[in-house]
A = this chain, B = another copy of it.
Amino acid sequence: MIRTYLLEHRAEFIEQLKCLVRFPSVSAQPAHRPDILDCADWLAQHFRSIGMDVKLCPTDGNPILVARAGVACAVPSASRAGVARAVPSASRAGAPHVVVYGHYDVQPPEPLDLWNTPPFEPVVRGGKLFGRGASDNKGQFFAHVKAVEACLKTGTPLPVNLTFLIEGEEEVGSESLMKFVKNHSRELRADYVIVSDSSMFARGLPTLTYATRGTVAVEVRIDGPSRDLHSGVFGGSVANPAVVLSRLLASCVNGDGRITIPGFYDGVMPVAAWERRMWRCLPFDPEGYRRFLGAPALAGEKGFTTLERRWARPTFEINGLTSGYQGPGGKTIVPAWASAKISCRTVPNQDPARVSRAVERHLRRQCPKSVRLTIATGSNPWFFAPPNGPGAKAALAALEKAFGGKPVCAREGGTLPILEDFRRYLRGEIILVGLGLPDDNWHSPNEKMDLGNFHRGIVMSMELLRELGASAERDCASTTKSASV
């Protein structure tokens, strides 16, 4: 019956996803604030329409959506009390409480001229939905929404008590959600937290992710003369902020791709033997990967494989450089200032605060007195949980059922800052089951969601909820049994 529902609504689901992608919900750009609000409203309405209790919670930033349904809620509840409303807890109802996380905000779409079709006018081509946010993260969390809809609309009892937690600030650091889970940790406490905000290792290779990297963001600004100066008349007698910036940045990485900031690598966990074994079995073609990236050659820290460089090694990346004259032709000036946006990726078991201090201290030590140096930093934690808990086992089973192939366990190079807060305040086992593909162009032009993965993701979500519910029942039965002995 559920399968029939899914088959009959395939086209409708895609149309709904297109509606969702159409919102230019760019959290980094204040001008898109109205689009953020419109997107949240649309989602709230959508959750209501499938029969969930919804609360759109205002924050200092962008609203957070909390949508709930319990094991008994095959028929929509009339209550609208929202977050604070008691959800049948795992202990009371015998069913676990599962939180499904997602984010409705997206990365800026720039550079616009590299998109084949406009980023916020989603189109389906070759079984893929193209549009900013299609894969990161709208298409992924929406698969879980559709799984729950299929249960609720077909009168199938939900196997777990469920809470969707959908935020609008993931791309700018999840600040509001961090406060929110802290302030509502009692109501939100979960047995499992499902996050589909990562990618499979390859098409057709369902993947359970057990680690992510963290970030340390550093914005550097060098101020020299009070205004742009004629480089002939004054050049040579005053520090050039762009030259100083280049020298500072160059002092952070050597020609072997090794970061030369003292203390930067402190605490870095070596790749374990079981991980190396697992990764060696992954189908990875370096030349195909290079072609996909379009770079003349792969590169990175000497002494490590490409997968190790992406998953288990920290990085120092310049995300943007700005100084002086950028228009057509030339302008012979000593620019008044120069700036760089930097983000480092951190790995287990680095201490983000120490890394941040190490970078700042190094830059300040290297910087000459002939300029003013301003540094702003921020950081987000890495995540690491070996894939051997009951949630991981349920996920591996669900992935195999839905995708029809043996799933793999992998790390992820990107960052999901909120995982640390989930670990601390929601406390359940975190399950990372990404529905993205490596060529989905996250944060790049021509982002897309594979619609095969979207539909299989819906099935995976239903299977996973069933597994989690069933494992709780088994636990309960075995506890009863052992108690009766």
Q: In the bound complex, how far is the Cα of B28 from the Cα of A300, in angstroms?
A: 39
Chain B residues with Cβ below 8 Å from A317 are 231, 235, 240, 243, 332-334
Q: In the bound complex, how far is the Cα of B232 from the Cα of A314, in angstroms?
A: 10
Interface size on A, residues (CB 8 A): 99
Q: Chain B nearest CB: distance from A86 CB in Å?
A: 38
Are the C-beta atoms of A245 and B321 separated by less than 8 Å?
yes
| Contact code string A305-348 (vs B, CB < 8 Å = 1, else 0) | 01001100111111111111111111111110010110101000
Q: How would you classify the secondary structure of chain A's contact residues: helix, strand, loop or mixed?
A: loop
Are the C-beta atoms of B28 and A246 separated by less than 8 Å?
no
Chain B residues with Cβ below 8 Å from A108 are 325, 327, 331
Q: In the bound complex, how far is the Cα of B299 from the Cα of A253, in angstroms?
A: 25
Chain B residues with Cβ below 8 Å from A330 are 28, 172, 217, 219, 319, 341, 343
Q: In the bound complex, how far is the Cα of B343 from the Cα of A228, in angstroms?
A: 14
Q: Chain B nearest CB: distance from A50 CB in Å?
A: 31
Q: Chain B nearest CB: distance from A209 CB in Å?
A: 12
Oligomer: number of copies: 2
Q: Which residue of B lies closest to A293 (CB)?
A: B225
Chain B residues with Cβ below 8 Å from A219 are 330
Q: Counting CB contacts under 8 A, is A229 at the interface?
A: yes
Are the C-beta atoms of B249 and A246 separated by less than 8 Å?
yes
Contacts A230-B443, A238-B293, A294-B225; is A368 near B299 (CB within 8 Å)? yes
Beta-carbon contacts under 8 Å, A54-101 to B: none
Q: Counting CB contacts under 8 A, is A182 at the interface?
A: no
Chain B residues with Cβ below 8 Å from A461 are none
Contacts A228-B443, A233-B412, A294-B226; is A318 near B240 (CB within 8 Å)? yes
Q: Counting CB contacts under 8 A, is A438 at the interface?
A: yes
Chain B residues with Cβ below 8 Å from A323 are 318, 320-321
Q: Which residues of A contact B (CB under 8 A)?
A: 28-30, 107-108, 110-111, 114, 172, 199, 212-213, 215, 217, 219, 224-240, 242-243, 245-247, 249-251, 253, 255, 257, 289, 293-301, 306, 309-310, 313-335, 338, 340-341, 343, 345, 368-372, 412-415, 438, 441-445
Given known contacts A227-B441, A231-B345, what 8 new A-B pairs fall within 8 Å (CB)? A238-B298, A242-B320, A243-B317, A319-B324, A320-B326, A330-B341, A331-B443, A332-B343
Instruction: Give 13 pairs: A residue, B residue, CB < 8 Å, sorted on A.
Output: A199-B233, A225-B294, A227-B294, A229-B443, A233-B442, A236-B314, A236-B315, A237-B299, A297-B369, A319-B325, A319-B334, A321-B338, A322-B326
Q: What 8 pairs between A and B have smallest CB-CB spacing?
A: A226-B294, A232-B414, A250-B250, A242-B318, A299-B370, A320-B324, A246-B249, A28-B329
